[in-house]
């Protein structure tokens, strides 16, 4: 067992013990006076402990798996308000002023906060993995045979009728990308459903569902024009929950799908 793993095991036990006893309010305050500059709680057990704390204290808003919820953003695709572990720790510990984001319980230790940081980083792990495909070939397929750029943007270039893929490698792992390409109807986000609106005169406007509420809806049509409808002013509307993207099964070989996945997985934000 390495020293780090040993330390993690010890801290796991410590945390377990501490969690059984009510920590006095000033314990965390004392510990916060001199937070370590780097996270020393980054072992596998630390991540597991961090996940547990996250699920208990953060999951209600950010989702059990950190992918976001009604109260908090997705934390698996980078962080909007932190660029360092120290910054993440501060937010986990203290929250973000002027927002709904509050820090974890004052009764939680700084160590727990660091473990949450380790867990959050694990959700954003962009370490390279060995993929069977060739990313350079995949880039050519993306623009050519795959016809992806007609609907998707990468760094400002491309169409608007599908999700921006500039950093898709940060939010989708290779297996998910394969699934997206082969069975696009399997998991369609509401943003990419289609709204089919029949207006009072019987004419139809159809497009991607940008937003909808009780009384109104907004969509982008095939010409990439924006439309806004009051529901009371239209005859009817339909939500079509299938994807507008065709499966690649009929157009690309298995090797080409591997290449395309390799390219898409390479599309990630620049690390600071």
Partner 1 sequence: MKRLASVIALGVLVTGVVPAAAQETESQPGTTPAFSPVTWERLLNAKDEPHNWLMYSGTLDSQHYSGLDQVHNRNVGDLELKWAYQIPQLDRAETVPVVVDGVMFITEAPSNVVAVDAATGRQYWRYNHSLPDDLRICCGRNNRGVAILGETLYMSTLDAHLVAIDARTGNLVWDKAVADYRAGYSKTEAPLIVKDEVVTGMAGGEYGVRGFIDSYNAKSGELEWRAETIPGPDHPDNQTWAGDSWRTGGAATWITGAYDPDLDLVYWGTGNPGPDWNGDVRLGDNLYSDSAMALKHETGALEWYFQFTPHDVHDWDAIQVPILADLEMDGEMRKVMMWANRNAFFYTIDRVTGKFLVGKPFAKQTWAEGLDANGRPIRIPGTSPTAEGVTVSPPIGGGTNWFSPSYSPRTELFYVQAYDGEDIFYKRDEDYVEGDQFTGGGGRRPLPVENYKSAIRAIDPKTANLRWEYEIQPRSTAGIMATAGDLVFSGSVDGYFFALDAVSGEELWHMNVGRMVHSAPMSYAVDGKQYITIAAGNVVYSFGLRD
Residues that bind partner 1 (CB under 8 A): 73, 78-84, 86-88, 90-91, 98-99, 147, 150-151, 153, 155-156, 159-161, 164, 166, 185, 194, 196, 199-201, 205-208, 210-211, 213, 216, 218, 220-242, 244-245, 272
Question: CB of 113: closest distance to partner 1 in angstroms?
Answer: 14
Looking at the Cβ atoms of 45 and 168, the one nearer to partner 1 is: 168
Question: CB of 94: closest distance to partner 1 in angstroms?
Answer: 11
Nearest-angstrom CA–CA distance, 261 and 248: 12
Question: CB of 45: closest distance to partner 1 in angstroms?
Answer: 26
Question: CB of 239: closest distance to partner 1 in angstroms?
Answer: 4
Question: CB of 180: closest distance to partner 1 in angstroms?
Answer: 16
Looking at the Cβ atoms of 8 and 114, the one nearer to partner 1 is: 114
Looking at the Cβ atoms of 56 and 228, the one nearer to partner 1 is: 228
Looking at the Cβ atoms of 27 and 234, the one nearer to partner 1 is: 234
Looking at the Cβ atoms of 44 and 222, the one nearer to partner 1 is: 222
């Amino acid at each position: 067992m390495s020293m780090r793993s040993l330390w993690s095991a010890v801290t796991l036990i410590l945390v377990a013990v501490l969690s059984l006893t009510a920590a006095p309010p000033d314990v965390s305050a004392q510990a916060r006076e001199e937070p370590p500059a780097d996270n020393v709680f980054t072992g596998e057990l630390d991540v597991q402990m961090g996940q547990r704390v996250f699920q208990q204290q953060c999951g209600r808003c950010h989702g059990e798996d950190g992918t976001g919820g009604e109260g908090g953003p997705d934390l698996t695709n980078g962080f909007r308000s932190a660029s360092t572990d120290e910054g993440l720790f501060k937010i986990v510990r203290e929250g973000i002023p002027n927002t709904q984001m509050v820090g974890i319980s004052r009764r939680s230790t700084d160590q727990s906060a660091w473990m949450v940081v380790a867990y959050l980083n694990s959700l954003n792990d962009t370490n390279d993995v060995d993929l069977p495909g060739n990313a350079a070939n995949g880039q050519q397929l993306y623009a050519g045979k795959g016809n992806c750029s007609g609907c998707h943007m990468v760094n400002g270039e491309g169409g608007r009728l599908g999700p921006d893929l500039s950093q898709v490698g940060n939010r989708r792992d290779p297996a998910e990308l394969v699934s997206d390409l082969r069975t696009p109807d399997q998991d369609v986000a509401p943003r990419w459903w289609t709204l089919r609106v029949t207006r009072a005169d019987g004419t139809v406007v159809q497009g991607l569902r940008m937003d909808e509420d009780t009384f109104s809806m907004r969509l982008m049509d095939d010409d990439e024009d924006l439309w806004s409808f009051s529901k009371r002013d239209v005859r009817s509307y339909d939500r079509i929950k299938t994807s507008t993207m065709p499966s690649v099964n009929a157009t690309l070989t298995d090797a080409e799908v591997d290449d395309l996945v390799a390219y898409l997985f390479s599309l990630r934000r620049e690390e600071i």
